[in-house]
Structure 1
Amino acid sequence: MIVVTGATGGLGGATVEHLLQRLPAERVGVSVRDPRRAGHLADRGVRVRRGSYEDPASLRDSFEGADQVLLVSGNDPTADLVELHGNAIEAAVAAGVRRVIYTGQHAATPDNPYPASQIHVATEAALADSGLAWTSLRNAAYGPLDVVLGPWSQTGEVAQPADGPVPYTDRADIAEATAVVLAAEHHRDGPVTLSAPTAVTLGDLAEIASGLTGRTVERVVVDDEQWIADQVANGTPPEAAEFMLTWYRAARAGHFADTDPLLPELLGRQPRTVAERLAETIAA
């Protein structure tokens, strides 16, 4: 059995859907905080059990009988995510799980100034010490492009801090590849990178948007302190703005510039490009 944590979230939920296209439902289980939110999966024959990273006993129960567990990394900035991931890893050991697949982060290295990287570095170290077979899928940035670009369609500007090349990747492609890894046991031990094949800058994205819309979209580089002030003025808590700024600093230092051919290999096709994704956004 394959058990997926976070199966009512975006990435975990999409991964389950792809798994159900490849495996009988009885071979798939989910570990979720609120089983009522996974009723649509239970109705299709998926085993649904309550499991919370804060409750190790519930995790051991939800992992029971699993050969593999997909450990979807937490995203609560106020929580001790390293401890919570450790709870899940210990529960997997106690439940007799053979392999953990972890959703990590692109360029999760000790020198990356983006603080989330250190959570993934520590979790990978815990996996390495666990005695389990493990794979860390270091996923490239897969959030909606409008979050990265800001309100460009209204302003005609991509006004963000200085950046660097990033292989922005479609979450749907990440989820499908994750399901392939789980279902086909296409495993590579340790960390691997899942990324689109091309890294682009915000300037590149502004040019692509210009070509798609037929109007000029300018790339405006905003000073770091001014950007934080603008974010706070728009209601973002200062600590959240400071945190996000570290991502731009990591990008401009080249930490996210590397790409890897594994994603298209797993998909058996080329991943969706940023141009295709932007065109879809514009059409909507």
Structure 2
Amino acid sequence: MSNHTVVVFPASGGIGGSTVKHLLPRISPQDLVFIARHPEKLEFVSTAGVTVCGADYDNDSDLERAFDGVHTLILISYASVEHEHRAKRQQFAINAALRSGVKYIFYGSLGYGGNPASNQSMAHECVSRNSGFDYTVIREGLYSESYPLYTSSFDNPVGEILIPHNGLGPGIAWVKREELGEGTAELLSRFIKDPSSFGYRRKIVLLSGSKTLSLKGTVEILSKLAQRPVHILPVSVEEFAAQPQNFANFTYRGVDHSTAWTSTFEAFRRGEGAYVSPLLGELIKHTLLLFMYFIV
């Protein structure tokens, strides 16, 4: 592998798959490695000359040597609401990358926390402990395809959406996964082309939609798409967690995390999903689509 080898891990799934798609026309295939738990899902890129490998976030031996020979890693956050387990697996992957000599990590995570300029990152500690290492933290705005997580798994026959929130107050700067992947790929491309002048080194950046929409406004769009009245009915945390679909969606490894998930609604009340950044629009240079046109 060359000194400029770029790895995407995990390279399948919503954000990973979109990032992979938009990297292909931007970076030489010989410099790209895509790693996924199910590498067969990436067969479509192998014909382009890209190296495809298998590794699992939950497998120590997989990760221990997965990043050997890699200069730049796009590390996409572990997809789970299990906070402690997720943090441990991500930390293991980062440590494995540092042991393998990775020089730069683009770390992608969900865009909570408001204005990224007012936040700090534990990545600063990695820099102080590892000479020659740098990073960019990419906070990905809440993608519109994930709306069921915030609407008690809404489906068309449902007239009431029972959540511990009244739908009012600060909204969400929804964004499409396709656009998040394109923005991430463009950031990486700019770094690879001219690392010395890359303006986002050691920074936290936010890729968000261009406007906010309240949960009430979001549900009004769902109502139009369902062609029937749909509204939010505020309920307690316990009532939210007791809904069968939430138990099913938020149970991992036999543990029900639906009550813990309701902290998301408190974050919305604090405005943590409502911060709008112009960066994504600047990176992809076209108008971001309105939520109602790409909800799925």
Unaligned 5+ runs, structure 2: 192-197
Aligned to 1:267: 284
* C-alpha distance in 2 between matches for 1:59 and 1:243: 29
Per the TM alignment, residue 167 of structure 1 is displaced from its structure 2 partner at its CA by 1.1
Aligned to 2:141: 140
Per the TM alignment, residue 68 of structure 1 is displaced from its structure 2 partner at its CA by 1.1
Aligned partner letter, 2:200? R
* C-alpha distance in 2 between matches for 1:91 and 1:129: 17
* Alpha-carbon spacing, 1:60–1:253, altered in 2? closer, same or farther (3 Å): same
* Alpha-carbon spacing, 1:87–1:26, altered in 2? closer, same or farther (3 Å): same
* C-alpha distance in 1 between matches for 2:40 and 2:259: 36
Q: 5 Å matches for 1:106-145? A: 106-108=111-113, 124=123, 126-131=125-130, 132-142=133-143, 143-145=145-147
Kindly provide the CA deviation profile for residues 105-139 of structure 1, in whole angstroms up to 9, marking residues without a partner as x: 21348xxxxxxxxxx97754554445421011011
Aligned to 2:25: 21
With a CA cutoff of 8 Å and minimum separation of 6, indicate the structure with the bigger relative contact order.
2
* C-alpha distance in 2 between matches for 1:46 and 1:192: 28
Kindly provide the CA deviation profile for residues 225-244 of structure 1, in whole angstroms up to 9, marking residues without a partner as x: 32222247864657321122
Matched positions, count: 269
Per the TM alignment, residue 180 of structure 1 is displaced from its structure 2 partner at its CA by 0.7
Unaligned 5+ runs, structure 1: 110-119
> What RMSD, in angstroms, separates the aligned Cα atoms of the two structures?
3.0
Per the TM alignment, residue 252 of structure 1 is displaced from its structure 2 partner at its CA by 1.7
1:173 aligns with 2:173: no
Aligned to 2:195: none
1:151 aligns with 2:145: no
* Alpha-carbon spacing, 1:21–1:239, altered in 2? closer, same or farther (3 Å): same
Per the TM alignment, residue 172 of structure 1 is displaced from its structure 2 partner at its CA by 1.0
Per the TM alignment, residue 82 of structure 1 is displaced from its structure 2 partner at its CA by 2.8
TM-score by length of 1: 0.80
Per the TM alignment, residue 11 of structure 1 is displaced from its structure 2 partner at its CA by 1.4
Indicate which of 257, 260, 268 corresponds to 1:243. 260
* Structure with a larger share of its residues in helix: 1
SS of the equivalent of 1:179 reads: helix
Aligned to 2:216: 203
1:63 aligns with 2:67: yes
1:253 aligns with 2:258: no
* Alpha-carbon spacing, 1:232–1:267, altered in 2? closer, same or farther (3 Å): closer
* Alpha-carbon spacing, 1:66–1:239, altered in 2? closer, same or farther (3 Å): same
**Structure 1 stretch displaced more, 163-172 or 32-41:** 32-41
SS of the equivalent of 1:80 reads: helix
* C-alpha distance in 2 between matches for 1:86 and 1:182: 22
* Residue identity (%): 24
SS of the equivalent of 1:271 reads: coil
* C-alpha distance in 2 between matches for 1:233 and 1:209: 19
Indicate which of 214, 221, 228 corresponds to 2:241. 228
TM-score by length of 2: 0.78
* C-alpha distance in 1 between matches for 2:286 and 2:102: 31
Aligned partner letter, 1:200? L
Kindly provide the CA deviation profile for residues 151-180 of structure 1, in whole angstroms up to 9, marking residues without a partner as x: 353233443221541112211111111111
Question: Is residue 247–residue 256 contact of structure 2 (8 Å, CA) maintained in 1?
Answer: no
